Amino acid sequence: MNELTINILCKQFGIDKDVIDFVNEKEKYILDKFEEIDKIKEYNQFKVINAMQECKLSSTDFNWTTGYGYGDLGRDKVEEIYARVFNTEDALVRPTIASGTHALTLTLSGILRPSDELIAITGAPYDTLQKVIGIKGNIPGNLMEFGIKYKEIPLVNNTIDVNNVLNNIGNRTKILLIQRSTGYSDRRALTVEEIETAVKAIRKENDEVIIMVDNCYGEFLEYKEPTDVGVDIMAGSLIKNPGGGIALAGGYIVGKRNLVQLIANRLTAPGLGKECGLSFGTTRSTLQGLFLAPHIVSEAVKGALLVAIVYKELGFNVVPDVDDKRSDIIQGIQLNSPERVVEFCRGIQAASAVDSFVVPEAWEMPGYEDKVVMAAGGFIEGSSIELSADGPIRDPYFVYYQGGLTYEHCKLGVLKSLNNLIEKKLIDITKTKNLKQD
């Protein structure tokens, strides 16, 4: 980092020179890891381009219709490209899918019927999905209210407990749910290889149960996706990885054609399925976002590594660890106090290009059991592929950092978050990694 850059960070962003020096020094420890990240980026970039070429994407596909959406060629082309990218029979990609939770809800409610059983085989799912299922909150319209049975099987040493899963599959078990990402937990994301191992073992004993993956935050982190290794159906959000920071809204579902059709019937109506539903002119931004996604994801992963090494060197528990294989863009830091969680997020907010002047507060956010503080100064509201951070105000006080459209923006986020914590006397930068800050 040259003197001009240091000057602008000190004078215009108010970052202490000691903080800049500290982050620059720790950054040296991770630079060798960037080469493998770039190889994965290159592979996925070529995969996306090939899918667009094989599907004969044309400039005329960016046109759109009105009304019912019959003959919306752009919408159909988007879904054809998504199916090819994720190596599946079919896809449902719509701007009217409000979030990742909505995509997962559509998938579950489209496939499950009264008395069917859902088993979460990676422990408790993400907070918002727990309310969808009905295990928390008692929200009207949850799955259990419609007679869906539910079980939960915890991970053992961050691994799917296949024997326990097989022992719990019954005559009414319809779906096994795998959450790939860490969510609001203290575990790292499951790798595709780990998912493949579990899928193969389950399929050896049972080839009828549907295996579903919540793929939020995991797209383009590896050479393969879960649908490349035998997963039947998978869902995610367009304002996370695959939207590339460009998609305005939406979600996707990819998988076997018969399952996608069931879900499409839930999205629209039985008999209408995928044939209706406008793209509202979002085809261009959705596909341009997908085109950029492999590069954007690689920048975010590099940023997550920088966060990990900086806070690990200060003595905090980080998940995943610096040397762990990464399978989502989320970096968890156990900050050990609610004040640190809030001030970390305020530092990230202050680094944002949009709404940098906003001061985040913990609040009772819909869908969450505890108060949550969020830093999200994105060009797309709620876009967690952009620089963002959040965390529930609950022990042991993890904050979850994710996103960053450029590595430089990620680095600014790290600098501002650390500077903020030091100014508030919540972190002592003179401590070594051997002195845990609690």
Q: What angle do CA 126, 334, 360 make, to 5 degrees?
A: 75
Mean of the pLDDT values across residues 87-105? 97
Q: Which of 232, 219, 237, 272 has the alpha carbon at shortest distance from 111?
A: 232
Judge contact between 318 and 334, C-beta under 8 A: yes
Residue 145 buriedness (CB in 10 A; 0-12 / 13-18 / 19+):
exposed
HSE (CB half, 13 Å, CA atoms) of 299?
20
Residue with tokens 């009414």: 172
Which DSSP helix (H) or strand (E) runs through 91? strand 90-94
Secondary structure E strands in 217-341: 233-237, 251-255, 317-319, 331-334
Six token digits for residue 187 = 């575990």
CATH superfamily of the domain spanning 3-42+295-423:
Methioning gamme-lyase, C-terminal domain (3.90.1150.60)
Query: Same CATH fold, 63-290 and 3-42+295-423?
Result: no
Q: Which of 204, 190, 168 has the alpha carbon at shortest distance from 122?
A: 190
Mean of the pLDDT values across residues 249-273? 97
Q: What is the DSSP string of 32-63?
A: GGHHHHHHHHHHHHHHHHHHHHHTT--GGGG-
Residue with tokens 């190596």: 87
pLDDT tens, residue by residue, 275-289: 999 999 999 999 999
| Average pLDDT of the chain, as a whole number | 95
**Residue 175 pLDDT:** 98
pLDDT tens, residue by residue, 3-55: 888 888 899 999 999 999 999 999 999 999 999 999 999 999 999 999 999 99
Strand partners, 212: 177, 233
pLDDT band at 297 (very low <50, low <70, confident <90, very high): very high
Mean of the pLDDT values across residues 348-359? 96
Task: Name the class of domain 63-290.
Answer: alpha beta
pLDDT tens, residue by residue, 367-424: 677 899 999 899 999 899 999 999 999 999 999 999 999 999 999 999 999 999 999 9
pLDDT band at 432 (very low <50, low <70, confident <90, very high): low
Six token digits for residue 431 = 């401590």
**Residue 430 pLDDT:** 82
Q: Which of 248, 246, 263, 161 has the alpha carbon at shortest distance from 210?
A: 263
Mean of the pLDDT values across residues 199-223? 97
Domain boundaries, the chain: 3-42+295-423, 63-290
Judge contact between 321 and 186, C-beta under 8 A: no
Judge contact between 380 and 315, C-beta under 8 A: no
Range of weakest confidence among 137-151, 169-183, 423-437: 423-437
d(CA 72, CA 65): 6
Alpha helices (H) along 73-176: 73-85, 100-111, 127-133, 162-168
HSE (CB half, 13 Å, CA atoms) of 73?
9
Strand partners, 178: 213
Q: With a cut of 60, say whether residue 274 has pLDDT above it.
A: yes
Alpha helices (H) along 314-375: 338-350
